[in-house]
Chains A and B, each alone.
Chain A
């Protein structure tokens, strides 16, 4: 049931080596780009607000947010769907990317905080006189952008090296990642960690000098997120259609055979694990300026489990499936949490059980069945 290949087999004897995208895939790609980069900006910025066709702030933020989640699901698919390693700590990498961007956004507030100080309000509140050392240079956007990549990447590299070298696999690995995100959440909850405690960062004013709530800024962030999603989709596709991608799937299906064929699985796992974490970090960095807040609840164990659910619902090992899964579940969530707020977690759990039992290949499996009856 794990990620059966969705591409048709080559009819003649020969390699079933996949193309980057089929012609159909490319047309879909161009269409998606046209919607994201042309239709949405026009509907939001040009069409007047009282028109029925106007795309409201609500939808721009919601779709922007969902695209960030879709990037996370894509990253999850690389490590879980293709390599068979279930991470229950991907929310941590997302949050770390978000915090790195958040540090820059906090410093861009300048003196406009409640206390009109050089320091963010929460530091004034703690009676701190200067920034702790790890806030150095975070007022430079490009330095913060570097942290967005480096912090999740280095953490994943070090953690992954020890975990994979010790041959920690399966449910043990999942539990350790869950513990890692939980421990980090507790750390970030503490006020003296220097990241705003349980309130986290919020009340951002501007990014790169642009007012953060202006429609043009929002639309730009939206478009950058869309470009990131399409770009990562292509990048992930490039990885999984390479020989390395085939080694990853081979590790998932028969790791000992991989070793006896002369590949060291440790480094292949480490590679894709780190790539996946970095992608999550970038998604987090795109998420924070659009949503306007980052706090430790992003590191809660439940958040990471939700990421796995999006991926399973969409269909592991297909890349586009988890993107659909993230979109479908989160659209459902935004409706559900308005209609029956108390019951969302039950509904999510039920959804997961139903999908596992009746739709093991997820939405992607459903689509594939349509195409080839």
Chain B
């Protein structure tokens, strides 16, 4: 049984996932979990996103590719509240208007994000990193009073196993290798129990073996989670992709299966044929 399956089972366990189901505020009754419509973002006149529209279905694993500077990271900035779009709307499910929420509110609503440059708490141990990410009441007073209970400890242990960092649990995160930091950050996302995971170049700097295992993990998460994966590594994209979106100069150039994309003339011109 792979770690991913263990994780799935644990997540699907009604007791363990009860809290998550209860607090699910996102209305996916129309299949879609994320709706971007006509989003534009400009930096000093330069349009990083240009009338971008995109719909992601609940449970989907969507790969987003595109040349450097295409606006992939900026798109994630808009979804997570880091950047306000100049125009356009961003909805999480049918009801949650992302442009009106702050970053922590969006995280609390169920969107987790892995940064392009791995971002973990370097002065905390691996274990503490996961503890901090753990889904919980994250206001000041409950945080001050918080104690790790058995359920939480089990969750952390299971995630440590999934991300293969059990031996490093007591290590400072700053001492991990680049690939291990990527894994830790993914583990932190899983601890948050988000509905939607945004993964910005999650396998950059990983060994082939680590990359392979990431692919397995992401594929296994699709279905119970929705994932948007930005990657430059085409082999990796090919391995996991059901549906691929190609971004170019801030808007969608093409969308479809990997085969469609690879045959698309425009895409070959701007991206694959470089």
Contact = CB atoms under 8 A, between A and B. Distances in A.
Interface of A: 2-5, 9-17, 239, 242-244, 246-247, 249-250, 252-254, 256-265, 267-268, 271
A12 B124 contact: no
Given A2-B123, A263-B143, 6 more contacts: A5-B172, A247-B132, A250-B124, A257-B188, A262-B135, A262-B192
A261 B192 contact: yes
A268 B140 contact: yes
Contacts of A252: 123
A192 B22 CA distance: 60
17 contacts: A13-B160, A15-B125, A17-B148, A242-B143, A242-B146, A243-B131, A243-B132, A244-B144, A249-B121, A254-B119, A256-B82, A257-B121, A257-B188, A260-B103, A261-B192, A264-B102, A264-B138
A261 B102 contact: no
B166 interface: yes
Interface in B88-135: 102-105, 107-108, 112-113, 115, 119-125, 127-128, 131-133, 135
Contacts of A258: 132
A264 B104 contact: yes
A10 B170 CA distance: 6
B139 interface: yes
A254 B127 CA distance: 17
A304 B115 CA distance: 38
Nearest to A267: B140
Contacts of B170: 9-16
A141 B118 CA distance: 55
Nearest to A269: B140
B219 interface: no
Interface residues of B, number: 43
A60 B107 CA distance: 54
B112 A16 contact: no
A34 B160 CA distance: 45
Interface string B129-169: 00111010011100111101000010010001000001101
Nearest to A15: B127
Contacts of B156: 15
Contacts of A265: 104
Contact of B123 (A242, A249, A267, A271): A249
Contacts of B160: 13
A23 to B, nearest CB: 20
Determine which residue in A13, A258, A261, A265 has the highest number of CB atoms from chain B within 10 A of its CB, and name it. Answer: A261
Contacts of B132: 243, 246-247, 250, 258, 261
Contact of A247 (B108, B143, B145, B166): B143
Contacts of A16: 124-125, 127-128, 170
B82 to A, nearest CB: 8
B186 to A, nearest CB: 13
B244 to A, nearest CB: 25
Given A261-B192, A263-B143, A264-B102, A254 B169 contact: no
Contacts of B145: 242
A242 to B, nearest CB: 5
Contacts of B139: 264, 267
Contacts of B103: 256, 259-260
A146 B123 CA distance: 38
B127 to A, nearest CB: 5
B243 interface: no
A252 B124 CA distance: 11
Q: Shortest 6 CB-CB distances between A and B: which pairs?
A: A13-B169, A262-B107, A259-B103, A244-B144, A16-B125, A264-B104
A243 B127 contact: no
A243 B143 contact: yes
B226 interface: no
A257 B119 contact: yes
A9 B188 CA distance: 20
B119 A9 contact: no
B140 A262 contact: no
A130 B180 CA distance: 70
A257 B108 contact: no
